[in-house]
Chains A and B, each alone.
Chain A
Amino acid sequence: MDPKLDLLYRLADDQLILGHRNSEWNGLGPILEEDIAFSSMAQDKLGHSLQLYGLLHQLGEAEPDTVAFTRNAPQFHCCQLVELPIGGYDFSLTRHFLFDHAELLRFEALAGSSYEPLAQVARKLRGELKYHVLHANTWMKRLGTATEEAIERMQRALNETLPYALGIFEKTGAEADIISSGLFIGEDELKSRWQESIARVLSQTALELPELQTITPVLGGRQGQHTPHLQPLLDEMAEVFRLDPTADW
C-alpha cells in the first residue's frame, strides 16, 4: 500500500473506533464530570477521524462516511487496544492514559511531517490532545495514590492493558518508506518516547510499570486481524447509515 494511505488509515481508524468506544460512557460515567469528559473526548476523536478520512479522500479514497461506515472488520487498520469493550472505568481510564500519551507524541512528531496536509492536521490536533493527556494524568495520579483497592485495581488494569497498548506500535510493510520519506519518525522512535512519557507520570504514583521487554505485544490489528469485539461495534455504529447509504443528512 502507498505509505501515505497506510499511515492515514491506521491513524484514522484508531480515532474512529476509540471515539466510538469513549462515547459508550455517555450516561454511564462514575461521576458526572467523567461522563462529560469521555463524551467530549469521543467528540474530539470523531472530529480527528473526520480530518484524517478527509485527507484520504483528497488522495482519491471514498468519502469519509463511506469509508467509516461501509467497511468490515478485516478492512480496518486500528490496533486491537481501541476496539476492546469499555469494561470497567479502571480499564477505560488506563487505555485512555496509554493511548493518548502515544497520540500526543505521535501528532507532535507529525506536525513536522514532510506531507504538509497531514502536518497541518497534526498542528491542530496536538493542542486538543494535550487536554486528553492532562485528563488522563490527573486521574492516574489521583487513583494511583488513593486507597489500597484503587491502587490494586489500577495496577491490574495496567498489567492487562499493556500488551494491547504495545500493539499501537505495530509496524506495517510500509514502515521503512514512511520513515525514509519523512512522513513520520516511525513506530520504534514513538514507542521509546511514549515509554519515557508514561513512566514519568507513573513514577508519581504507587503503580509500577512492568519491564516492557518482558511483555508480548498483541499484534495483528494493523493487518486487519481483530478481536471478536470489533465487528459488532461496526454493525452498531453503521446501523442507521446502512439503512439508506444515499440519504442526505
Chain B
Amino acid sequence: MQNEANSFQLPAKSQILEWLQAVKDPEIPTISLVDLGVIRAVELDEATGKVYVQLTPTFAGCPAMDYMKRDVERTLLSHGVPAVEVEISLREAWSSDMLTDAGREALRQHKLSPPPVLGNQVLDLDFLEYAECPNCQGHNTELRTPFGATLCRAVHYCHDCRQLFEQFKPI
C-alpha cells in the first residue's frame, strides 16, 4: 500500500468498511463499530480522495464517542486515505436492530446477551425485561436492573444456571 497522497488509489467502499472492521467498541473489544451499527454511512469524494464517515451514538450520553471518532480517523489515515471527515449525527437514531448478525455473535463472545430484534419501536416496557442467558442459553431469566456497568447494559439473572449476566439493552 502506497502512502503518498499523489499515488493513492481510491479504495472501494467495501474496502473502507473492511478496514473499519478493525475499529472496535472501546468497551466491548469483540465488536466492531460496523457490526454495532454505529457507522451509518461511508462516502468517498472521488476528486479529493476524502472519506466521509457518519457515526451515530448508541446512547446520547455515550462517553466513548470522541474516542470512536478519533479511532476511525486514525485507522483510515493509517491505510493511506488522504483525508477523513467523521461526523457524529442523530439523523438516523440508533436502534439495537442495527446490530448485524456478526455483531450479535460478537456480543455473545463477550458474554453479553444480544438484544431481541424489535422490528419497530416497541413501547411496551415489559418487552425490555426479556433476555437470553449468554452462559446456558436459558430463557428462564429475570431483569434485575435496567442499569449496568455502562449505559448500554442491563443486568439480568438466569434461574437455570443461577448466574447474573449482562445484556446489551434493546432500544
A binds B: yes
Contacts of A45 in B (CB 8 A): 61
B125 touches A134 (CB 8 A): yes
What residues on A are CB-neighbors of B147 within 8 Å?
A: 33, 36-37, 39-41, 131, 135
Q: For residue B93, which residues in chain A have a CB less than 8 angstroms away from its CB?
A: 120, 123-124, 127
Most A C-beta atoms less than 10 A away, residue of B59, B144, B148: B59
Interface window among A47-55, A71-79, A154-162, A182-190: A47-55
| Chain A: minimal CB distance from B127 (Å) | 9
A44 contacts chain B at the CB level, 8 A cutoff: yes
Contact residues in A for B169 (Cβ distance below 8 Å) = 131
Q: How far is the CB of B12 from chain A (nearest CB, A)?
A: 30
By the criterion CB–CB under 8 Å, are B148 and A36 in contact?
A: yes
Task: Indicate with 1 or 0, residue by residue over A1-43, a CB within 8 angstroms of chain B CB atoms.
Answer: 0000000000000000000000000000000010011011101
Contacts of B121 in A (CB 8 A): 126-127
Q: Which residues on the B side are within 8 Å of A37 (C-beta)?
A: 145-147
Question: B interface, how many residues as a size bin?
Answer: 20 to 34
Does A143 sit at the interface, judged by CB under 8 A? no
A64 CB to closest chain B CB, in angstroms? 13
In the complex, whether A121 has a CB less than 8 A from a CB of chain B is yes
For residue A109, CB closer than 8 A to chain B, the reply is no
Residues on B with C-beta less than 8 A from A46 are: 61
Instruction: Report if B161 contacts A (CB, 8 A).
Output: no
Which residue on B lies nearest to A52, using beta carbons? Answer: B60
Q: Which of A121, A128, A137 contacts B171 (CB 8 A)?
A: A128
Cα distance A47–B58 when bound, in Å?
12
Interchain pairs with CB closer than 8 A, number = 77
Tell me the bound Cα distance from A120 to B88 in angstroms: 13
* A168 is an interface residue with CB less than 8 A from chain B: no
A51-B90, A130-B125, A131-B128 as given contacts; A33 in contact with B145, CB under 8 Å: yes
By size class, the interface of chain A is 20 to 34
Residues of chain A lying within 8 A (CB to CB) of residue B151: 40, 43-44, 47, 128
Contact with A along B140-171 (1 / 0, CB 8 A): 00001111110100110000000000000101
Cross-interface CB contact of A135 among B57, B146, B148, B171, cutoff 8 Å: B146
Known: A130-B123, A130-B128. A120 touches B60 (CB 8 A): no
A45 to B61, CA, bound (A): 7
Minimum Cβ distance to chain B for residue A199 (Å): 16
Chain B, range 44-67, C-beta contacts under 8 Å to A = 57, 59-63
**Bound CA span A36–B154, Å:** 11
Give A82 to B149 CA distance when docked, in angstroms. Answer: 25
Q: Does B32 contact A (CB under 8 A)?
A: no
Does B95 make an interface contact (CB < 8 A)?
yes
How far is A121 from B128 in the complex, measured between Cα atoms in Å? 21
Where the two chains meet, the residues of A that have a C-beta atom closer than 8 Å to any C-beta of B are: 33, 36-37, 39-41, 43-48, 50-51, 120-121, 123-128, 130-131, 133-135, 137
6 smallest CB-CB distances across A and B, nearest first, come from A47-B61, A40-B147, A47-B60, A127-B171, A37-B147, A124-B93
